[in-house]
Amino acid sequence: MKEKFLLMILFLVVISQSVYADSTISGWILVPDSVKLGDYSIEINDISITKGEVFAIFEGKGMHREYVIPVGKEIKADNISLTYWKLISGERTYILTTIHFPYLLEGQSISFGEYQILLFSTNENKTSLRVYGKEESKDLTVKSGESIKFENLEISAVSRPEIFNGFLIKDEEYRIGDWKLKFIDYNVTNENGTLIERAKIEINGNTFELKKGQTVEADGGILTIDDFIGEKYLKVHFVIKGAYLHINVLPDYHISLSVGKTTKLGPYLVNVENVFGNEAYISILNPCGKPINSALLVPNTIGAGLYYNGLVIGVLNISSGEERKVELIGFLNEKDVPKLEEYALLNITLLAPKNVNQYERFTSYIYLKNDGKVDLNFLQITPVLSQDFEIVGTYPTFLEELKVGETQKIPIELKALKGGSLYLGQIKVSAYAQFELACKGFEKIEFTSNEDWINVNEYKPKYVTVINTADGKVGDKIKVNVTVRSFSNFDVPFTLSVALPKEFAIYTTDFTKINGNILYVTDTLSTNSSKTYTFTMIPNKVGEFTIETSLESKGNFFKNHTTFKVYPNNPSTNSPSSTATPTSNSSKISTTTITQTMEKTTTVSKIVVQNTTVVPLKSKLLFSGGGFVSGVAFILLLAYIAAKLEERREKS
């Protein structure tokens, strides 16, 4: 009976050591490539197209082996193996293969082609992965018994697989995968009246003492003590702190087409033109249906593929019967697909001064250079500026053509509306270029310039106005000087307005516009400079009057005023040579502070007859109040007085 029990234990040990599953990668792999499998790697470096042989190098854990592998043959090296079943070759070559490897521990990764898979963590029923693909990376959780699709991959996993469940015989060493297990000692202790059994276990040279039910982790494996069978036998089970992965690598396209049918693969169209026995005539077309490459393909184990700029087409099978269907697979490498931007390249540079003054015009330049491989046509230039700047003047917005290597320099006048360090903007240009995949031979493409910043000196307006006039008499000329001095940090246009009594006629050459009783002039002054604007008044009324000035520059106002008196014109009778003088003749000077600039125009003289009339001025005599009749009457009165004075002088 005892012998039968020992035989059963030995049988269980043997069986448990043989229960050791593995992981797989199956499907289409681009070669040459390097496949990394945790601690192992396979370099597929060369292919004999005629014989369909693969030259492979297996490495890992001190192993280095080289093999020439023909189609259909399996090669094993240590714990990994490779079998390849089929080959399709165009400009790029793909093999249908199956690779076996043991497992993946937490923290380890595998990579092949454009993919990398990192094993984050595991528990009893799920595996957490991070997968890096062609276009993105993603965290995936794969439950045992399920599969997940990511890009061209189908992934399933067995989390924490059990690779040993059986008995260890004392002093015997067991090799289980990458672990060496040995039951080296047994002891029993009495703890508070309870007998406690303990075993000393050696795992890969490290010793652990465990009680029944206890677990220990060592080198990526987890061992649990299940039971003691006397002093010589120990029931344990051992799991991998990792997972078996099963990865299926799919082609980019897998379709069946009848003769004459067309399908879209990436940017291309693929058409089955005809079938001749066991051969299919396949064409790759541009998006408009124009053939760009064709070939007669045969579904052989070692098969030639049809290739055009990134797309490889292979034939897997041609069905028999009335409707001949062709089973196709396709592989698309986006990097090799023609892209318009690889042919058409326009360098745009927006070059502006580093420092400018607010509100002052400045010149920026748009530099265009065709650095591409094709000419550019019908270029549309669009400045995309921030709201802190505006375009002043005109600039070319359209160029008919810019040949390869040519350069254009385009000036553009701008003005800053704010101060500070400001974002200027950028330039966008749309153009048409020749392109092989364009239906009409040309395709539109857009280019963008650099972004530019400018330091803008903020405008700080400060002006002083001085009004210089004198008292006078009715009918006499009263000269008025308005002097403007600028203390602003730079010159910006200002508008000076002077409000006068409505009853007076006005004569001026310095002011350019009048609206009712207000004179206007727009001008500029450099910092610390001044300018005097002169006009002459002819009063027709006695009294005290006010002259008001207002200077405006970019929303800033500077005002001033002064008063003067007009006396009756009483001619003296004491002396024939005497002249009429006012009873008072005192000069008036007044000052004020203001901001802005002027433009000056000249026109024909005119008499103003309405308060609301706006008249440009050069040299004018005008009345700003009372209407046309009172103005004419006043002039006749002046003439009458002058005649009477002359008559009296003659009599005396």
SS3 647: helix
Q: Which bin fits 151, alpha (ψ -120 to 50), beta or left (φ > 0)?
A: left
CA distances from 104 to 56, 159, 621 (A): 22, 10, 104
pLDDT of residue 577: 34
Taking residue 564's Cβ as centre, other Cβ atoms within 10 Å add up to 23
**Single-letter amino acid code for the residue at 445:** I
**Series of mean pLDDT values for 10-residue runs along the chain (652 residues):** 47 44 88 90 79 87 90 88 88 90 93 94 93 92 92 95 93 90 92 88 94 92 93 94 95 94 94 92 92 91 88 92 89 90 93 93 95 95 95 92 96 93 95 88 92 92 94 93 93 93 87 90 93 93 93 93 91 40 40 38 35 40 42 46 50 49
Write a three-state SS string for 109-140: EEEECCEEEEEEEECCCEEEEEEECCCCEEEE
Half-sphere exposure at residue 75, Cβ-oriented, CA atoms within 13 angstroms: 20
**pTM: predicted TM-score of the whole model, two decimal places:** 0.61
186-192: long-range contacts at Cβ-Cβ below 8 A with a sequence spacing of 24 or more?
A: 186/228, 186/231, 186/232, 186/234
Rg, Å, the chain Cα set: 50
CA distances from 610 to 475, 519, 619 (A): 20, 14, 18
CA 466 – CA 583 distance, rounded (Å): 25
CA 580 – CA 572 distance, rounded (Å): 6
**Single-letter amino acid code for the residue at 511:** F
pLDDT of residue 212: 92
In the numeric block, which tokens belong to residue 344?
Answer: 């058409």
CA 333 – CA 114 distance, rounded (Å): 11
pLDDT of residue 132: 95
pLDDT of residue 2: 46
In the numeric block, which tokens belong to residue 557?
Answer: 């106002």
CA 520 – CA 496 distance, rounded (Å): 6
Q: Which bin fits 441, alpha (ψ -120 to 50), beta or left (φ > 0)?
A: left
Taking residue 647's Cβ as centre, other Cβ atoms within 10 Å add up to 10
pLDDT of residue 626: 41
CA 125 – CA 244 distance, rounded (Å): 12
Nearest to 299 by CA among 314, 309, 313: 314
pLDDT of residue 647: 54
pLDDT of residue 612: 33
In the numeric block, which tokens belong to residue 269?
Answer: 């169209």
